[in-house]
Amino acid sequence: MNKKIITYLVLLSVILLSCRPKQNMVYMSKHNMEEEVAKAKFQGLHIQEGDVLLILVSALDEVAVKPFNLNTTNKVGSNSNTGVNQYVQPSEYLVNEEGNIYFPVIGNVYAKGMTQIQLKQDLETRLKRYLTDPLVTITLKNFNVSILGEVKNPGQKESVSQKINIFQALGLAGDMTDFGDRTNVKLIRSGDDGSDQVVNVDLTRSDIVNSPYYYMRQNDILYVQPDKNKQVQANSNPNRALTFQIIGALLTAGTLIIALTRK
């Protein structure tokens, strides 16, 4: 058999085995060098209904501050001087359907829509009626995002950090599969009024870092759609891809056998 024919058969088998184009598989690849891309500024999370807040009140007078830290327990740790160090765990507060948390002594405090800094300042102002120089620390306990679709490990993911961008969120899900459409990722976000907003995000654009959707918020949902290649495969004969693989494998094997027997 002519060597050219053998070469053509090998090339044909390679094409059949790797016929999927690798277009739009690189993040942030589309960039106009003449335009300066400014980084998005992290604005802080807005408190939502259903959030669980960890709040701790501190002051110089430890006795006076105790009523504002109900349902807390003292934890014992090491101390370089005494060997024992006690500290107070923050209390948990659920943001109810009305957007309130019930705070000791003060009562209902409306928190929905506020950032943690705004709520901290509000509580410290209220506490000045009872304490001298009160200090409030607030942490969101349940920062979760859901990543679905063409990712390697879909599901609801919990982040230790509250400042997480869309690429870090995808990293929690093991990144996209090769069939994920990086040009049209759907982000579903709940607004302060309770309505859901759906936006399409192009992760191949470098100016994504300047988008208001670059940083994730609690309870965001990312849905990675399959690209056109996988959609075509899904809508056509489901055995088509397997057929191409078998044909490619047979061509490769046949070519090798012919090449070996003609030596």
pLDDT recorded at residue 34:
41
pLDDT tens track for 57-98: 999 999 999 999 986 555 544 444 444 345 678 999 999 999
Q: Count Cβ atoms within 10 A of the Cβ of residue 135 and give its class: 0-12 exposed, 13-18 middle, 19 or more buried.
A: middle
69: CB partners within 8 A, 6+ apart = 56, 57, 88, 90, 91, 104
Paired with 205 in beta bridges are 30
pLDDT tens track for 156-209: 999 988 899 999 999 999 999 999 999 999 999 987 777 889 999 999 998 999
pLDDT tens track for 99-148: 999 999 999 999 999 999 999 999 999 999 999 999 999 999 989 999 99
152-188 CB burial, b ≥16 within 10 A, e <16: eebeebebeebebbbeebbebbeebeebbbbbbbbbe
pLDDT recorded at residue 160:
85
CATH topology identical between 52-140 and 144-226: no
Q: Where are the domains of the chain?
A: 3-22+237-261, 52-140, 144-226
What span, in angstroms and rounded, lies between the C-alpha atoms of 64 and 77?
23
CATH class for the region spanning 144-226: alpha beta
CATH class for the region spanning 52-140: alpha beta
Q: Which single residue is written with the structure tokens 């918020």? A: 217
